[in-house]
Amino acid sequence: MSLDLDRRAFLAAALGATALGAARPARAQSVATSAKIVIIGAGAAGSSLANRLAARLDGAEITIIDARRRHLYQPGFTLIAAGLKPANYSVSDTSGWLPRAVNWIEEGAAEIDPEAKTVTTDSGTTVGYDYLVVAAGLKLNYDQIEGMDVSLIGKDGIGSVYASPEAAEATWREMDRFTDEGGVGLFTRPATEMKCAGAPLKYTFLTDDYARRKGNRGKTEIIYAAHSKSLFGVPIVNEKVRMLYGERGFDTRYEHVMKAIDPGRKVATFATPEGDQEIPFDFINVIPPMSAPDVVRNSPLPWADKWVGQGYVEVDQYTLRHNRYPDVFAAGDVAGVPKGKTAASAKWQVPVVEDQIVAQIAGREGTETYNGYTSCPLITRVGRAMLIEFDYGNNLVPSFPGVIAPLEELWVSWLMKEIALKATYNAMLRGRA
């Protein structure tokens, strides 16, 4: 996760309950306006932005559109799937995170018309806007893997950490059984853009760790199917992970993209440069192809020449403002920017969108920009993690330079993931971090 998240969390942990006093951050002066702002999606980015805009703008009409009543703390899925937390660890009420001043329409957005400046909901209600923020996250396309369906998760050795908290818990039951019995563990990732590209790696490490703790690593084979010629898009991180994979005895198959599963035969099929290859498994963590949600993909908002077919919103990578529609912004996973599909990134993106919108309303140019900050604490076993933080330039941007080394397996980094990350995430949702 976020380095910035982590720094705060770390300081928080270090100071503990001895911190006295209750000074709140001085908020920038509020701006009076009657602007209509519509936010699509009440997830990590949307909720946080709704809170920040409600605090910054006086008189704005803010509407948030999202059919999902359950707010999901997705970084917790990995801990659930490792048997460390129950499924409800990641579940809360969407309504609890939204400020009273914001109007929540409990429906999905079905159509976006940036020329007419309207959004139409599933029931056909049309909402007009002066500013639109697309924060609809991304969509898991399990149906793009032949034979795969979410109803298979938790049966016959099939796991998938991504689908939901319940799926993560079902995956844990399969992983627990597998590490008791041994056999072939198969770990995949899609060839598309994805949220938290470290998550497939983490889960491989965690499964290996359980097999070792149970004394069953000898009868366990771990195969990691990488979609490309590398394990991670940032070269320095890739090299470190490659070394660790070697040390841990993983069998890495490069350029293997999962395309089909046969649950009866327990075989997965991969597209490779040498043609289709079948790999049998006793346990598999399926991570599906991802794209922008249909409402965005089918709108005029996506890039025409980048991430073709995936539908990510065509925004400037620094201001997050749409290149063709200056009153449209994107935040979170749905933004068509080269990095940044993590909650930690959303935390850095949201203040930028807030600043840009408030500035436009006040007739100024926004000054804040997003540098691509992405962070994903890479758990390497129960009790240790590595902090990985980088920017658009593939530079490491450690939050605690000289104190907490990046790319080093540390207990303090684990501590952050375990106790401080969710607190920081929640504070972000409230617009306070």
Partner 1 sequence: MEELTFGTLIAVLEEMFGQALFWGLVVIAVLVTIAFVYVIVRDRSLRSRWFLRAELLAPIGAIAAIWFVFVITRSGLGDVGGPIDVIALILIGLAGAVGLTFLAYTVQAVIGGKRGAA
Ligand X SMILES: Cc1cc2nc3c(=O)[nH]c(=O)nc-3n(C[C@H](O)[C@H](O)[C@H](O)COP(=O)(O)OP(=O)(O)OC[C@H]3O[C@@H](n4cnc5c(N)ncnc54)[C@H](O)[C@@H]3O)c2cc1C
Residues that bind partner 1 in the complex, under the rule CB under 8 A: 4, 7-9, 11-12, 14-25, 84, 347-348, 351-352, 368, 370-371, 373, 381-384, 403-405, 408-412, 414-415, 418-420, 422-424, 426-427, 430, 432-433
Site for ligand X in 166-195 (CB under 6 A): 195
The residue ranges of DSSP E strands in 307-365, in sequence order, are: 328-330
Residue from the set 252, 342, 380, 424 that interacts with ligand X by CB under 6 A: 342
Name the one range near ligand X by CB under 6 A: 222-230, 254-262, 278-286, 329-337.
329-337
Q: Does 343 bind ligand X (CB under 6 A)?
A: yes
Is 196 noted as a catalytic residue in this protein?
yes
Strand, coil or helix: what is 21? coil
Contacted entry of partner 1, ligand X, none for residue 426, CB cut-off 5 to 8 Å set by kind: partner 1
124/127 Cα distance (integer angstroms) = 10
Q: Assign residue 255 a region (left: φ > 0; alpha: ψ between -120 and 50; beta: otherwise).
A: left
Cα dist from 158 to 50, 76, 165, 195, 429, whole Å: 38, 20, 15, 21, 33
Contacts of 247 (CB under 8 A, 6+ apart): none
Contacted entry of ligand X, partner 1, none for residue 420, CB cut-off 5 to 8 Å set by kind: partner 1
Q: Which two tokens stand for residue 277?
A: 């290859």
Contacted entry of ligand X, partner 1, none for residue 366, CB cut-off 5 to 8 Å set by kind: none
User: Catalytic: which of 81, 197, 376, 433?
Assistant: 376
6/162 Cα distance (integer angstroms) = 23
- Closest to partner 1 by CB, 12 vs 267, is 12
For residue 294, the surrounding DSSP H or E stretch is helix 294-297
Contacted entry of partner 1, ligand X, none for residue 162, CB cut-off 5 to 8 Å set by kind: ligand X
Residue 279's φ and ψ, nearest 5 degrees, are -130, 120
CB 416 within 8 Å of CB 3: no
- Closest to ligand X by CB, 137 vs 289, is 137
Contacted entry of ligand X, partner 1, none for residue 398, CB cut-off 5 to 8 Å set by kind: none
Q: Which two tokens stand for residue 81?
A: 């799937």
Q: How many other CB atoms sit within 10 Å of the CB of residue 304?
A: 7
- Closest to partner 1 by CB, 11 vs 116, is 11
Residue from the set 37, 39, 45, 244 that interacts with ligand X by CB under 6 A: 45
User: Catalytic: which of 87, 132, 184, 196?
Assistant: 196
Edge-to-edge strands, sheet with 251-253: 158-159, 283-285, 183-187, 220-225, 251-253
Q: Does 252 bind ligand X (CB under 6 A)?
A: no
> Catalytic residue positions?
196, 376
- What is the contact surface with ligand X in residues (CB under 6 A)? 1-2, 40-46, 65-66, 68, 74-75, 77-78, 108-109, 135-137, 161-162, 195-196, 199, 293, 295, 332-334, 341-344, 346, 375-377
